[in-house]
Amino acid sequence: MISDRVKGGAKGAPARALMYGMGLTKEEIDRPLIGIVNAQNEIIPGHLHLDEIAEAAKAGVRIAGGTPMEFPAIGVCDGIAMGHIGMKYSLASRELIADSIETMAQAHGLDALVLIPNCDKIVPGMLMAAARLNIPAIVVSGGPMKAGKTNGCTTDFTSVIEGVGTYNDGHMSEGELEHLAMTACPGCGSCSGLFTANSMNCLTEVLGMGLPYNGTAAAHSGERKRLAKYAGMRVMELLRNNIRPLDILTQDAFENAITVDMAMAGSTNTVLHLPAIANEAGIKLELTLFDDISGRTPCLTKIAPSGTYHMEDLHLAGGIPAMMKELAGKGLVKEGCMTVTGKTVGENIAGKDIKDADVIHTVENAYSQKGGLAILRGNLAVDGAVVKESAVAKEMLQHKGPARVFNSEEEAVAAIFGGGINKGDVVVIRYEGPKGGPGMREMLSPTAAIAGMGLGRDVALITDGRFSGATRGAAIGHVSPEAMEGGLIGLVEEGDMISVDITNKKLELLVGDDEIEARKKAYVKPEPKITKGYLGRYAKLVTSANTGAVLR
């Protein structure tokens, strides 16, 4: 065991002394030491209850003969951090989480890990650490919250953000907005739609690093606690059988994840996180792979924000196993991949049929015969840009309009709420990429403001930043190269015509080559927005969005 180098023999006596000082018995010290990485805090609603999950996981470890040793991980709530400087830290926290788990596991000689995240960047950060360390590991998430009910209508976090736009447009009173805020998120758990948190929790299951239904079983349910206990038990089997993350996180596993991502129309942020996790596993995922898989994968669900269903509906319809079985029936899933269950994907999904064909469509009755995400290219995005095509109104799949140019999210939001954006405009928000932000802020506020003010079928938004998984509409993010790296988005001028052609996957600035060359010669790169502290270091090391915004 790895832990024997810490606690074993005469040289391990000092370490054993400290363990005895914590109240551990000799029997507990002699057993494998299993790190329980608990991201619980009292800031993120999806993480408030993770102590319950951790206790259940620890019980499972003890049942199976291990000694659980809990330690924390940080977490940023994207919803609370949204719209101010706090959002600059969200994506950047992913690397901090991975680094801190590596530090704790290596410093204390842990034999295996149970990873307990729930929201946004915490999930990929933990998966990155698992791949990097390559010691037996399993993920058990906290589970999604239920959807809200407001005046008889199903609501969620997006409803509130869009409600701000409706309020500013004069179609909702302050009291109505407050009532919406009080009812849209009825309890703990990751936000109830297929936003980034739930997308990544589902894909953790697809990758084989989480047990079946990890992505959909509700927070505060007996099923979720049982999952945590089984995760604690399973990690001991992984340790005994020496099954490690890199045995699971293979090229085929990542292709399965991309396939299901396209079939369920997950968050655009998955196009950042899957390459970053793969990078830690020594695998390079190019954007062209996402495009290729999208082209052959039917879209089977319309979970909020793409539609009206929520995670509870997806779970009752059969969850991710049912979706994977439907895709596997058409040869779209690689069934031989190993998983933390000790079984293959094919064995895990056997007999897991769709229970509600309104929520999970069959391949024959798919919403479309291509995936929910699209990769756009053109002179504005030579290295690619990402859009959730399934959440775009048909009228906006092809759009041409004048650029309205803003150098920050705040400038754009002020213009939108101030009535400065007109039907047909293309809003361009730049210097919000990984380097330029720094931190590549999620920008749900401008997209939700556009939707809430009734412009969702008339206005496109393009940015080198990124969007919340809760975003809907013609919102095109991850434009690479970003402005701070010399991308053409930095040379767009007010009134330039831009062509958005999602159907044909094109994004073009309609300006002549001579004019573009003249602008390049006159261009003066702006000073970095932040030069000190963690974000200052992050900005120097981070790469573009098309690489997964990994650090070099």
Question: Which residues are marked as active site?
Answer: 468
Please name which of 52, 64, 230, 206 lies closest in space to residue 127, comparing C-alpha atoms.
Answer: 206
Number of H helices, E strands in the chain: 22, 14
Residue 458 φ/ψ region, left for φ over 0, alpha for ψ in the -120 to 50 degree band, beta for the rest:
alpha
- Residue 11's Cβ-count burial label (10 Å; 0-12, 13-18, 19+) is exposed
Residue 24 φ/ψ region, left for φ over 0, alpha for ψ in the -120 to 50 degree band, beta for the rest:
beta
Residue 6 φ/ψ region, left for φ over 0, alpha for ψ in the -120 to 50 degree band, beta for the rest:
alpha
Q: Annotate 210-244 with DSSP letters as a single string.
A: B-TTTTTSPTTSHHHHHHHHHHHHHHHHHHHTT--
- Beta bridge partners of residue 407, listed in sequence order: none
- How many residues in the chain? 552
Q: What pairing do the DSSP bridges indicate for beta strands 398-406 and 497-501? A: antiparallel
Structure tokens at 548: 């997964």
- Beta bridge partners of residue 500, listed in sequence order: 399, 507
| Residue pair 483/459 in contact by the 8 Å Cβ criterion | no
CA–CA distance, 333 with 133 (Å, rounded to integer): 27
| Residue pair 492/428 in contact by the 8 Å Cβ criterion | yes
Dihedral Cα 215, 287, 131, 315, nearest 10 deg: 10
For 3, 269, 291, 547, the CA distances from 287, given in Å and listed in that order, are 40, 13, 6, 8
Q: Can you tell me which residue has the tokens 């000092």?
A: 14
